[in-house]
Amino acid sequence: MNHNPSDTCDGNDDGSDPASEPSIVDDILDGEQKTVFENKQLVDSNTIVDHNRIYGRDEQLAAEARAFRDTLDGERPPDLLLYGPSGTGKSLTVKAVAEKVKDRAVQNSIEFDFVAVNFKTMESHSLDRAVWKLGHQTAKKAGIAWDIPRKGVSTDAKYVRLYEIVDRHFDALVFVLDEIDTLTGHAGDDEPAYSRLLYSLSRVMAEQHVDTLVSTVVITNHPKFRENLDSRTDSSYNPTGIHFSDYDANELIEILNRRRDAFKDDALEEGVIELVAAYGAKNEGDARRAIDLLRDAGEIANRSGETVVTEQHVHAANDSVVKNRVLEIVGGMSLQKKLSLYAAAVVADVGDGTAPSPAVYTLYREICQRTDRDVYTQETVNSHINKAGTYGVLESERTSDGFKSGVHLVFAFTEPVDAVIETLEADDVFDEIELSTARSVARQSLRDT
C-alpha cells in the first residue's frame, strides 16, 4: 500500500495547516488585555516609591535625611543601623531618602550614589562572594563593566578593584547592606564574614584606600548580630541605630491607600484594602507582604477577566501565598522531618491550636508503625520539629503545666495549620496515611496526656 504524505495526522481533515492557525498564546499576546491596573509598579514591593508615599515612618525618614544631609555639605554621613521586623520599611525608607539626596547632589555637582545588596539572596554567604557582589553592583552604578570573575581572583584583589571604582567615580557613596546577619561565612571561621566586611568598609577611608566619602547602612531583623563582631570591628564600627516597629492594621490601611492609584478608578471593591491590611496585620504587620497580596489579588482578577478586585480575590490570593510559602519551606525536608511536622500539625489542628510534644510523639509513633517506617526517639522528633521553627513555621516553648508527662515542649504554629497539613499531604508518602485516623489518634493522645 502506497503512503501519501497528505494522509498524515499533521493536517486537518479540510487540508489546512494547524501551524498557521492562531494559538491560545497568539490570542493572549495579540488581544486587547483587560486589566485592573493603572500602574502596577506601585504595588511591587521592590519599587522605590517617593518618600511622600511612605506612611508612619516620619521619625525614621527624618533621622536618615539628617544623616545623609552631611553628604551635601561635603562631609561623610554617619554609619546607620536599621533594625526591626521584616516588612516595616527599613529598606524602603533608606532607598527613598538616598534617591532624594542623589537628586540634590546632582544640583550641587556632587557625584553621590548608593549601592544596595541583599545578602540573603546570594547563593553563597562567603566574604569573597559578598565583595564580588558589592563590586559588581558598584560598577553597575558607575556605568562601567565589572571585569573581575567570581572565581580565580583573590578576595584582596576584588577589594582593590572595588576601591578603584569607588575612588574614581564617586564623591560620596553609601553601601546599603541588607540582611547582613545572613553573611555568616564558612564553618570554622574565627569570626563571621559580616564582621570582616564591616571592618574593611569602616576602615576604607582611614587606611587611605579612597578619598571618597564612604559610609554604610546596615539593615537587619536581628540587631544582636553585633554580639558576634570581632573586637577590632566592634571598636571601629559605631553606627547610629534607628528602630522600626511593626505596623498595625490602621497603618497598613493608610499605606495601601497611598498606593491605590496603582489600580484603575473603581477597580477596588469597597473593603478590599481593609481586608488586605487585616491579613498583613496577622503577618506581624509586614507591609511588604500586604502590598504583594494586594497585587496578587489584582492578578487573580485579571486572569478571571474581571474588572473589579473583590474580597474573594484577596482570600484566593492569600490562600495561594500561604500554600506557596509553606511548600517552599517543607518541600526540601527529609521524610522523617515531614512525618514529625505532620504529627505536630494534626495534634494542633484537633486541639487548641498548640501541640504538646508527648501527644505529638504518640501520633508520630503510631503513624510510623502503621506505615512500617523506622521510629525515632522523642528527642529526635522534637529536634526535627524545632528545625521547622527556624523557617518560621512554628514556635516552641518548654512547659510543665497540667500534663502528666512533666516538663515538655509545646509547639504553636505561626503558619495556618490546615495549609501545613495540605502541603505535606501532597507528598506521595502521605497516601498511606488517613487524616481522619490520624485525627482520632491525636484526640486520644491529648486526652491521655
Distances (CA, A) of 76 to 59, 69, 130, 165: 22, 9, 23, 18
Beta strands at 112-118 and 172-178: parallel, antiparallel or unpaired: parallel
Which pLDDT does position 403 carry in this prediction? 40
Which pLDDT does position 421 carry in this prediction? 92
Which pLDDT does position 19 carry in this prediction? 58
Which pLDDT does position 405 carry in this prediction? 47
Q: How many CB atoms lie within 10 A of CB 66?
A: 13
Give the orientation angle of helix 127-142 with respect to helix 193-203, to 10 degrees.
40
The Cα 119–Cα 131 span in angstroms is: 11
Which pLDDT does position 80 carry in this prediction? 97
Distances (CA, A) of 357 to 20, 286, 313, 369, 396: 63, 30, 37, 18, 10
- The DSSP symbol for 35 reads -
The Cα 337–Cα 331 span in angstroms is: 11
Residue from 71, 60, 63 nearest 214 by CA: 71
Length of the chain: 449
Residue from 202, 182, 196 nearest 128 by CA: 196
> Please, are residues 247 and 281 in contact by the beta-carbon 8 Å criterion?
yes
> Please, are residues 162 and 130 in contact by the beta-carbon 8 Å criterion?
no
Which pLDDT does position 325 carry in this prediction? 76
- Which residue ranges make up each domain of the chain? 1-45+248-330, 57-243, 331-448
The Cα 44–Cα 37 span in angstroms is: 12
The Cα 177–Cα 314 span in angstroms is: 33
1-45+248-330: what fold? Helicase, Ruva Protein; domain 3 (1.10.8)
- The DSSP symbol for 321 reads H
Q: What is the mean pLDDT, run by run of 10 residues, along the chain of 449 residues?
A: 48 57 61 82 88 92 96 95 93 96 95 95 90 97 95 96 97 96 85 94 91 96 87 92 94 95 96 95 85 95 94 93 79 87 95 93 95 93 84 79 63 88 88 93 90
57-243: what fold? Rossmann fold (3.40.50)
Query: Using CA atoms in the order 346, 348, 349, 351, what is the torsion angle rounded to 10 degrees?
Result: 120
Report helix, strand or coil for 76.
coil
Residue tagged 496526656 (cell numbers): 449
- Phi and psi at 417, nearest 5°, equal -60, -40
> Please, are residues 159 and 200 in contact by the beta-carbon 8 Å criterion?
yes
Strand partners, 216: 175
331-448: what fold? Arc Repressor Mutant, subunit A (1.10.10)
CB burial readout 209-232, b (16+ within 10 A) else e? bbebbbbbbbbbbeeebbeebbee
